[in-house]
Structure 1
Amino acid sequence: MIAAIIIAVVAAGIIARLAVLNSRLTSELERARVEVTRYESQPAVVAHEIRTPLSLIEASAELLMGESPGPLNETQASFVSTIFDNATQAIGIAENSLVQRRLKDGAALRLDLVDIRDVVGDAAQSLRRTTDIPILVDVRGGILPLYADEQLIRQLVWNLVNNAIRHSEGEDGVRVRVNQAEDGGALLEVTDHGNGMDSADLERFFTPFATGSSRRPGSGIGMLVSQEIVAAHGGKIMVDTRPDVGTTIVVLLPLGNPGGE
């Protein structure tokens, strides 16, 4: 009888200690989860915070480029152009970070009627201010309405054209073609006339922070984000490249569902 009581008391003590340890473990796991979530979200938070000052720098540089405050000499104009170009690239990196976080979180697409022709035109106009490389836009057919997330589609087109600029050389520049796909969706082709890619470059084309024979450095996430945007819309992205000739990125975007599916 006494032995049974002793065993019961000891068992109760062990159970109590286990309960305390379990409570502490649960608390530590929750604290760790919160910390992981905080650190995972930091890139998006930083990207959001730096977007406004970068936009102000870009706008100020653009104002100076227009010589509204007064004429610039050649050296000053070159410095201002460099500031504007790098601010634009940094904003693109910030936008890609925000888009990637949004897609990783599984946020629903904000579907609306989007005319891909307008998006391409806006991207070309914006990027022409950052480069001397010609950007030629070839739009065929009538209106190409897609039920898509306009913010994501704009980032997709910006990434593709910006990537082509980075790899283009000579007077041929970048060519952007927009046409209607056989299924009624949109067919988007962005061609550069650069060095093309070998098999090794092609294999890591969508790998973050991998760079090939680029004319200038990039963030390394632009093409990965583009791939994720296309996948989120149920589309396809393909790469056709030839060494010493150039690269064409082909994107097929379905019409989408006006019901929001």
Structure 2
Amino acid sequence: MKWLCYCSAAGAILGLFAVWRMPLPLIVRSIGAAFFLVLAGLFIFCGLAPSGTVLAALIFDTLAIGAMAALFVVVRFWLSDRAEIARLRNIAQRNADQISVVSHEIRTPLALIRGASDLLAERSPGPLTDSQARFVRTISGNCHAVIALAEDLLTQARIDAGMFELHLHRVNLRTLAAEVLAEHRQLHDMQFALDCPGAPPRVWADGALIRQAMTNLINNAVAHATNTKLITLRIVNADDQVLVSVSDDGEGMDEARRRELFKRFSSGRPLQDGTGLGLVITRQIVQMHGGDVFVDSTPGRGTTMLFSLPEQSPERVLSRAAAGAS
């Protein structure tokens, strides 16, 4: 019954070619092809050996059929997973495109409204009464809030779709922080302070994203800290990283509220406005730069939100961002 061994060897060779042409990673195809090559050699040896028996051929045939069946099951599941990943990626891409369009359509008219309200607040067209000035500040503040929300939604959609890219340059954090605080001083009737001792800290980062992170932390302090009189933005060099913190002298928060801070659509203030998306975005931005976000709060003694930015090369930042996105 040596013919059975030769037929089995031919089947193993066909299996080798079938495995090699399957849409599998190279390492998987190589292992499968090597397995069937060994089987073909055993079948040929069985046919040539004088002691070759039908039982040995049947055993080898069973091994070959079992291996082929297992391989096809693995391939089926692997292709199914690839199709599902592609489908989810397409959905995320469409969602990101839709949110991008909506964000653009929202930001454009709001930017015009904000510009007009800022001109009125500066009294460029003429003097305002106290009531008119208050209404103008309300308009301007809410325009800034909605524009910031649109930016958060757009950033989140791009991150979820895996289409986000960092645009790195050398960022002067003191200058950036001063610009952010200048914007907030025009919007809110409270004191803002910048504490940045020593030489201006500089890091390789995406300046627009770091501005967004700082703005989100300050907005969070303004919106959630009751009875706040002073908000301090502090930037400190610490070993091989830069620490950026936003502190308020408000009521602080307990452990239960702290656990809710980094959950989407949870503002930490029950029955009050706020999506809580800003802090989620802030943590993702910071983690893409290789840092992290921390919270230090004591009830009745205020809250400090802090994030770290490692001092590293742009190549290192991009590699960290790519690893995080994957």
TM range (shorter): 0.7 to 0.9
Residue equivalent to 1:192: 248
Q: Distance in 2 between matches of 1:52 and 1:114?
A: 27
Task: Please give the secondary structure, in 1, of the residue aligned with 2:314.
Answer: coil
Of 36, 51, 65, 2:107 maps to 51
Unaligned regions of 5+ residues in structure 2, if any? 1-83, 320-326
Amino acid at match of 1:134: Q
Which region of structure 1 is more displaced relative to structure 2, 60-69 or 71-80? 71-80
Which region of structure 1 is more displaced relative to structure 2, 42-51 or 201-210? 42-51
Compute the displacement of 1:122 (Å). 0.8
Please tell me whether residue 158 in structure 1 is matched to residue 215 in structure 2. Answer: yes
Task: Please give the secondary structure, in 2, of the residue aligned with 1:76.
Answer: helix
* Preserved CA contact (<8 Å) 2:205 2:289: yes
* Preserved CA contact (<8 Å) 2:172 2:203: yes
Residue equivalent to 1:120: 177
The aligned runs of 1:10-159 (5 Å cut-off) are 37-104=93-160, 105-159=162-216
Query: Which structure has more helix as a fraction of its residues?
Result: 2
Q: Distance in 2 between matches of 1:32 and 1:119?
A: 37
Residue equivalent to 2:263: 207
CA radius of gyration, larger in:
2
Residue equivalent to 2:279: 223
Q: Distance in 2 between matches of 1:171 and 1:235?
A: 28
Amino acid at match of 1:96: D
Task: Please give the secondary structure, in 1, of the residue aligned with 2:295.
Answer: strand
* Preserved CA contact (<8 Å) 1:196 1:245: yes
Amino acid at match of 2:273: P
TM-score (norm 2): 0.66
Please tell me whether residue 253 in structure 1 is matched to residue 309 in structure 2. Answer: yes
**Cα deviation 1:120-161 (Å, max 9, x = unaligned):** 111100111110111111111202110111111111111111
Q: Distance in 1 between matches of 2:90 and 2:314?
A: 38
Unaligned regions of 5+ residues in structure 1, if any? 1-28
Q: Distance in 2 between matches of 1:35 and 1:114?
A: 35
Q: Distance in 2 between matches of 1:39 and 1:251?
A: 29
RMSD of aligned alpha carbons: 2.4
* Preserved CA contact (<8 Å) 2:268 2:276: no
TM-score (norm 1): 0.81
Compute the displacement of 1:80 (Å). 1.2
Residue equivalent to 2:297: 241
What is the percent sequence identity of the aligned residues?
37
